[in-house]
Amino acid sequence: MNAVSPVVKPVSKMRLAPGSTVSIQNVSWKGFESILQELGEKRSLQVAYSKSTLEIMVPLPEHEKSKDLISDIVKILLKIAGKSYEPFGSTTFKRENIAGVEPDACFYIQNYQRMIGRRKLEPNDPPPDLAIETDVTSKTTLDAYEAIAVPELWIYDNFSKY
C-alpha cells in the first residue's frame, strides 16, 4: 500500500492565465486569511470566499474596461443626483468566519462621510452601499455579497460571449 501525501504549494506561486478561475473547496476561514496575507494587496487577481469555497479569478483586459466604464457611469449619475460618494475600488470586504469578497468596484454613498480618508477597513465598518461586478469569464457568486450585507449589487453580464 502506497502512502499518499498532499502536494503543498503556496498560492502565490500559482501561475494563472488572464481569464482563469480556480475554485478550491473545504478552505477554512483561517486558510482564507492566510492566503490573503500571502497574496498581499498589490495583485492582479481577485478572490471570493463563501461556504468554505475559495475562488481565485484573473481578469481579462475586457473585464477591466467594462468595470471602468460602469464605474464612470455611476460617478456621473451620482454627480447629476448631487450625491457625494467615496469609491473603494476592489477592497476586500469580510464577515469573519463566513464570507469575503472583492468587488470589481464599489462605492460608499450613504456612509461616505464615515469612510473619507480611510486607508483600511475597520471591523465595524459598514459594507459598501453599491458594489459592481463584471462577469466576463466567470459568474458572480451572490452568497458572499448576501453574507456581507451589501445593499445593492450591479452585475454586468457579458459571460455569454465566451
pLDDT digits (tens, 9 = 90+) for 81-121: 999 999 998 899 999 999 999 899 999 999 999 999 888 89
21/72: higher pLDDT: 72
More confident of the two residues 43 and 54: 54
Query: 3-class SS at 109?
Result: coil
Q: Cell match 482564507: residue? A: 32
User: What pLDDT is attached to residue 130?
Assistant: 97
Indicate the pLDDT class of residue 162, thresholds 50, 70 and 90.
very low
Rounded mean pLDDT, 73-83: 97
How long a stretch of residues is the chain?
162
* 66 or 10, which is more confident: 66
Identify the bridge partners of residue 59 per DSSP, sorted by sequence position. none
Task: Please state, in angstroms and rounded to a whole number, the distance separating the CA atoms of residues 116 and 93.
Answer: 17
Three-class SS of 21-79: EEEECCCCHHHHHHHHHHHCCCCCCEEEEECCEEEEECCCHHHHHHHHHHHHHHHHHHH
Q: Evaluate if residue 24 carries a pLDDT over 50.
A: yes
Distances (CA, A) of 47 to 40, 123, 128: 12, 19, 17
- Say if residue 156's pLDDT is above 70: yes
How many other C-beta atoms lie within 10 A of the C-beta of residue 147?
19
Distance CA 87, CA 120 (A): 13
Quote the CA–CA distance of 49 and 76 in Å, as a whole number. 31
Mean pLDDT of 22-50: 88
Distance CA 12, CA 140 (A): 23
Q: What is the DSSP string of 132-156?
A: EEEESSSPPPHHHHHHHT-SEEEEE
The set of cell numbers assigned to 18 is 488572464
Question: For residue 159, is pLDDT > 70?
Answer: no
pLDDT of the residue at 2: 64
Q: Decide if pLDDT at 67 tops 90.
A: no
Side chain identity at residue 114, one-letter code:
R
For the chain, give the percent of residues with pLDDT over 70: 86
Give the predicted TM-score (pTM) of the model.
0.80
CA–CA gap between residue 131 and residue 34 (Å, rounded): 25
More confident residue, 10 or 24: 24
Q: In the predicted model, what is the mean pLDDT of the chain?
A: 85
